[in-house]
Amino acid sequence: MKRLFILINLILLLAVLMFLVSCNRAKDPKEISIGYVNWSEGIAMSYLTKAMLEEQGYKVTLKNADIAPIFTSVAAGKVDLFLDAWLPDTHVDYMKKYGDRLETIGIPFENARLGLAVPSYVTINTIEELNANKERFKGEIIGIDIGASLMNLTEDAVNDYGLQLKLMPSSGPTMTAFLQKSVEHNDWIVVTGWTPHWMFARYDLKFLDDDKGVYGDTEHIAAVATKGFSETHPFVAAFFKNFRFTNEQLSELMNIMEDYPLRELEGAKVWLKKHPEIVDLFLSSQTNNLTQLNRYETDRENSLPAVGTGNQ
């Protein structure tokens, strides 16, 4: 009986020690986690962040999932960051549900856009013209992942415009593979598109005019974090205030990373070597381990607009 009592106490002690260790790990200021969806801009920004912060001594873990579990995980504190929240419209439902448990720590990109896209050689310019040319499009709109906000909006577009084309769910990579094949053969194709995306840098594309406004106006992409993240990780929070891309920068980054399948971190580092000035733009010169001196006399306020802390 005495041995059993000692054994139980040892088990309880071990459980307490394991809990304390896990808590200490969770609070390690040099470890952060980033959730990302398989969208080109999110992959690019997440891996670039990993490359830059790991040079500063951080351990950065990337976690891939669909959009709903990512918002849930960030709100619950199981994942620290998500860099690809489209606001104020696309992900508004998630922000309404979880916004009180999140904080916006940066705006990586302005003028993001959703819609239906076609190659520029396609001779129609509006969504209304799709029905009259449905045979040339094989009666299909090539989509991405089921459940993506863009797919939900496209279902609305199909209904609102009375489209006689079927929305075909696939994935981002599958959609761009169909697009590439069609462009190579000069075939007509319509896809669910968005900018920023590398396909607009690689192919000559255009959005179809959306007279009914189903896809909304241009948006911004926000970096959102678990509430309290800025206090726990002030250096990383300061980093994301400077973490902002022009369309040319982000398009080039995504385009380069497309040439490094399953080696995304390597692709991010290749782009970073081409643009060493980004180190000074994104990282505070006072704490930047990569450049002891600010080698680029860049006016941050003129080149990259200041980021607010609230949801726009």
Q: How far apart are CA 192 and CA 295, in angstroms?
A: 42
Average confidence score pLDDT of the chain: 86
pLDDT of residue 274: 95
Distance CA(289)–CA(116), nearest Å, equals 44
Q: Find the helix packing angle between 234-242 and 40-55, rounded to 10°.
A: 130
* Greater pLDDT, 5 or 126: 126
Task: Report the predicted TM-score, pTM, of the whole model to 2 decimal places.
Answer: 0.75
Please report the pLDDT score of residue 188 as a whole number.
98
* pLDDT at position 312 over 50: no
pLDDT band (50, 70, 90) for residue 280: confident
Predicted confidence at residue 283, as pLDDT, reads 86
In the numeric block, which tokens belong to residue 146?
Answer: 């089921």
Residue 22: which pLDDT band, with cuts at 50, 70 and 90? very low
CA distance 79 to 81: 6
At 8 the pLDDT is: 45
What pLDDT was estimated at residue 67? 93
- pLDDT, tens only, 217-270: 999 999 999 999 999 999 999 999 999 999 889 999 999 999 999 999 999 999
Residue 287: the pLDDT is 52
Question: How do residues 57-100 score in pLDDT, each as one tens digit?
Answer: 999 999 999 999 999 999 999 999 999 999 999 999 999 999 99
pLDDT value of position 159: 98
The mean pLDDT value for 176-185 works out to 97
Contacts of 200 (CB under 8 A, 6+ apart): 193, 251
Residue 94 phi/psi, 5° resolution? Answer: -65, -40
What pLDDT score was predicted for residue 285?
Answer: 54
Checking if the pLDDT of 294 tops 50, the result is no
Q: Quickly state the pLDDT bin for 26 (edges 50, 70, 90).
A: very low
> Are 175 and 143 in contact, with CB atoms under 8 Å apart?
yes
